[in-house]
Amino acid sequence: METLPTALSEGQRRADRGDGTYFNPVFAADHPDPAILRDGDDYYLTFSSFESSPGLIIWHSRDLLNWQPLGPALKDPLGNVFAVDMCKVDDTYYIYIPVIPTAASPDPTAPPMIYVIHAKSMAGPWSEPVNIGVAGHIDPGHVVGEDGHRYLFLSGVSRVRLTADGLATDGEIEHVYDGWRYPDEWITEAYALEGPKLTQRDGWFYLTTAVGGTSGPPTGHMVTVARSRSVHGPWEEHPRNPIIRTWAEEEPWWSKGHATLFEGPDGQWWSIYHGYENGFATLGRQVLLEPIEWDDDGWPRAVGGDLSEPLRSPIALGSLEGEQEHGIALSDNFSRLRLGIPWSFHAPSVDEQQRISLDDGLVLQSSGTNPSDSSPLTSTAGDRHYEISVELELVDGAQGGLLLYYSDRLYCGMGHDGVKMTSYRAGRAIPYWREPVPATRNMHLKIENNNNIVTMYYSADGLEWTRHGLRFNVAGYNTNTADELLSLRPALFATGSGHVKFRNYNYRSPDRV
């Protein structure tokens, strides 16, 4: 398997090789459930943000390989945000958002609900979320039928008609499709009919769904297709389903699914979906772009192979004016607040953002008693080998630290309170380990993750480093261990009393220039 390409923007791999070909993933790191919208020559993407806030970062591209963020569409916590859908009707953009309620939701005891936000520009500003009254469903897929009415297809697959303004339902939820059934002997997580996306081509409505479960066995998730001349059905199943699947655990990408079919800038059709990198489930579900061809009988066929080889780029090299680079810098000198891009709070309260300010660094007010209940500030990592470091100053009895954070139940790293260091592994403080760290209010911390082997360092001056006495293997810090569809992310935390001032956060991959 060839070496992955060098990124132009520090911190994120770049898919575009600069020679008319590209490598997958198009988005490294955890970008699950990609929702794509084409608007003329412009393409927009967003992803499930779950309990990260600000959430639903909107990305823009014209060539499908180089993406730049416009900003978060959801600035305040709404709950656990699952797979969304984006659309444009007339001159207005809409994002339909399924939310599993949390303590930050308007009603924490409610069943899953679907909200909508809208704007005149994909860059915002976006409206406040509107509850459209759909309960107990996730994974909305918007379509305008041949009858001119708007519909949302839902997990299951069910469907509900919308009002003309798209802000409420206009009828009852009805079950409309049972889904294609794979052979019972196939090794999957669960049937789980989900992710309905609608695409129109040559007088057909193509309904793309995912079955087999998102995680678990690497051969579980898959992409299936049905079609109809009418949004009302009946739905005819693709005779060669599934069109995309991981067939064997030796393949480079596992659990491939949750796809959308769409037309690219040069008339070539594409499928965009997510998958886990073989051996690196810690990085979460990454975004894969695969070319689609249409057979003589009008059915789509994926032609990208096992995705370990370079593929032809969606648009000719040098054909766009003002070509943009891909990604964002992940290092941060904290000269300005970058909430949402790339920093977000994990499982925040409604007023969590009041904890953060700037004053010769990033000031994070303490919260909770340990990383599990502190709502840490997380970033992202998409490399197999990377190093993160930060300088911290402890004020008024705070404990501050640097983590690799999967969830409130699974993380590792270091915390210092000015007197002693607390070492964390598997989501808890290690009771038997006392690292001989000097008592000081100022400390530099560094973590290296080299192919899931974690080594930690600390320093009083940022020049002379001492290696922490423990190393960790974090390969198991993933969804199949913790049962949450997340990834292992760099994180900063502050607990106890007072606050922590962070300075000079650095992210680099030693394997890249």
pLDDT at residue 97, as a whole number: 98
CATH label of the domain that carries residue 263: 2.115.10.20
Do 353 and 451 fall within a single domain? yes
Do 305 and 413 fall within a single domain? no
Do 83 and 35 fall within a single domain? yes
CATH label of the domain that carries residue 367: 2.60.120.200
Do 413 and 503 fall within a single domain? yes
pLDDT at residue 17, as a whole number: 85
Of 6-10, 105-109, 381-385, least confident by mean pLDDT is: 6-10
Spatial distance between the Cα atoms of 413 and 495, rounded to a whole number of angstroms: 14
Do 158 and 228 fall within a single domain? yes
Do 381 and 278 fall within a single domain? no
Dihedral of alpha carbons 120, 126, 130, 135, sign: positive
Q: What is the pTM of this model?
A: 0.96
* Number of domains within the chain: 2
Do 278 and 409 fall within a single domain? no
Do 275 and 352 fall within a single domain? no
| 335: in domain | no
Measured at the CA of 324, the angle between CA 321 and CA 328, to 5 degrees, comes to 170
| 16: in domain | no
373-413 residue pLDDT tens: 999 999 999 999 999 999 999 999 999 999 999 999 999 99
| 5: in domain | no
Question: 12: pLDDT confidence band, cut at 50, 70 and 90?
Answer: low
DSSP 122: T
Helices and strands per DSSP (H, E), number in the chain? 1, 39
Give me 77's structure tokens: 């916590």
Nearest CA to 477 out of 413, 430, 410, 425 is that of: 410
| 67: in domain | yes
Spatial distance between the Cα atoms of 92 and 117, rounded to a whole number of angstroms: 10
The boundaries of the domain holding residue 487 are: 344-508
In this model, does residue 9 exceed pLDDT 50?
Answer: no
pLDDT at residue 2, as a whole number: 33
* Average pLDDT for 156-177: 98
| 292: in domain | yes
Do 160 and 267 fall within a single domain? yes
Do 283 and 391 fall within a single domain? no
Domain boundary among 293, 312, 331: 312
309-331 residue pLDDT tens: 999 999 865 566 666 788 999 99
| 14: in domain | no
Do 105 and 46 fall within a single domain? yes
